[in-house]
């Protein structure tokens, strides 16, 4: 496994991060024992960054990850989140976030997390994030219950606007650095270098578009973006490599991003992602992929309050 420093923290994180949302049955039902075994296998192969949230499975993922990490907590870096607790359940009030860390610590069976993050900030007002949520996580950091603090979300322009005005240790952007999206490079990557925060990339398979799995019916991507899956699969078949392996290797190769977080919950997923880590990219494949996806490149959907969509202002 390879490692990169996460911003100005003391964490050297694996470039492959364990996304624990599938432990909460987010995509499919996950067998708990296999989920626990997958955590142990990932650790055995050098994965040391684990990311979870109360939202995933309505606390189930945190609970299962806590069980899996018994006896192994000091071997890894553990990140969780606050503010989002259900599909439409958002509460970034000061008091709720203060309670949230204690609830997460109990489920995770630990007395601290390495990173505590505001989860999907685009769904509430900027005023509440600034006046309540940020002071709350700052207080939690000062208390020692979290060593570092960060924010997460989908719209990279909005993430950058908050990270420019406030101090965070990390920023997690999802679905914005992969074979069909690279908007993260425009503003957020340069800002991370300027201000020194660590940058993380999640959902490198864009919620299954860049894999051979069936795209979920709830996927918000435009139809033409989802339709790119079939020709990409055919192209990768020509090169005799799995599309998901190419997508994972491509994401992990970006040195400006400390870790690429992908959802895992079973042994096959771990083995697939480890295979992708060792992939030698076939000559010419990335050039062909770039030409194929050019018509839909960076056609990203938006989620959250309309006033937090800053794309038209830049």
What CATH number does the domain containing 170 carry?
3.20.20.100
Concerning whether 56 is annotated as a catalytic residue, the answer is: yes
User: Per-residue pLDDT averaged across 212-222, rounded?
Assistant: 91
Total domains in the chain come to: 1
Q: Provide mean pLDDT across the span 137-145.
A: 98
Q: What is the mean pLDDT of residues 86-97?
A: 96
25-28, long-range: CB < 8 A, 24+ apart: 25/57, 25/60, 26/56, 26/57, 26/61, 26/263, 27/208, 27/216, 27/263
pLDDT of the residue at 312: 63
pLDDT tens per residue, range 185-207:
999 999 999 999 999 999 999 99
Q: What percent of the chain has pLDDT over 70?
A: 99
Q: Is the dihedral of CA 217, 219, 223, 225 positive or negative?
A: negative
Nearest to 237 by CA among 192, 288, 272: 288
Domain membership of residue 69 as a residue range: 3-313
Please name which of 226, 222, 227, 224 lies closest in space to residue 302, comparing C-alpha atoms.
Answer: 222
pLDDT digits (tens, 9 = 90+) for 23-43: 998 878 889 999 999 999 999
**Stretch 213-223: mean pLDDT:** 91
On average, the pLDDT of the chain sits at 95
The pLDDT of residue 10 is above 90? yes
Which tokens hold the place of 235?
């192209």
Q: Tell me, rounded to whole angstroms, the distance of Cα 212 from its chain centroid.
A: 20
| Active-site residue, from 18, 56, 158, 177 | 56
Cα dihedral 217, 218, 221, 222 in deg (nearest 10): 60
The string of pLDDT tens digits covering residues 225-247 is: 999 999 999 999 999 999 999 99
What contacts 14, CB < 8 A, 6 or more positions away?
A: 1, 2, 3, 46, 47, 48, 49, 259
pLDDT at 266: 87
At CA 77, angle to CA 205 and CA 28, rounded to 5? Answer: 40
């Amino acid at each position: 496994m390879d490692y990169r420093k996460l911003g100005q923290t003391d964490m050297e994180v694996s470039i492959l991060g364990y996304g624990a949302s599938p432990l909460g049955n987010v995509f499919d039902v996950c067998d708990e024992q296999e989920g626990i075994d997958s955590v142990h296998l990932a650790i055995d192969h050098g994965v040391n960054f684990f990311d979870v949230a109360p939202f995933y499975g309505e606390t189930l993922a945190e609970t299962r990850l806590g069980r899996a990490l018994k006896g192994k907590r000091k071997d890894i870096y553990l990140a969780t989140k606050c503010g989002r607790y259900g599909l439409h359940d958002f509460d970034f009030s000061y008091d709720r976030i203060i309670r949230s860390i204690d609830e997460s610590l109990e489920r995770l069976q630990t007395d601290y997390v390495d990173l505590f993050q505001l989860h999907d900030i685009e769904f509430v007002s900027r005023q509440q994030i600034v006046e309540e949520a940020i002071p709350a996580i700052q207080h939690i950091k000062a208390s020692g219950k979290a060593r570092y603090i960060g924010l997460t979300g989908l719209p990279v322009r909005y993430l950058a606007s908050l990270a420019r005005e406030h101090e965070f240790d990390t920023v997690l952007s999802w679905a914005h650095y992969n074979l069909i999206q690279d908007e993260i490079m425009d503003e957020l990557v340069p800002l991370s270098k300027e201000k020194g925060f660590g940058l993380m990339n999640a959902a490198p398979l864009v919620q299954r578009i860049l894999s051979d799995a069936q795209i979920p019916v709830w996927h918000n991507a435009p139809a033409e973006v989802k339709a790119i899956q079939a020709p990409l699969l055919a192209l990768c078949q020509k090169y005799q490599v799995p599309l998901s392996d190419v997508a994972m290797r491509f994401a992990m190769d970006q040195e400006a991003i400390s870790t690429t977080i992908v959802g895992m919950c079973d042994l096959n997923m771990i083995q697939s992602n480890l295979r992708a880590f060792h992939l030698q990219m076939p000559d010419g494949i990335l050039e062909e992929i770039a030409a194929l996806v050019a018509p839909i490149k960076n056609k990203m959907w938006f989620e959250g309050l309309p006033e937090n969509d800053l794309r038209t202002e830049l």
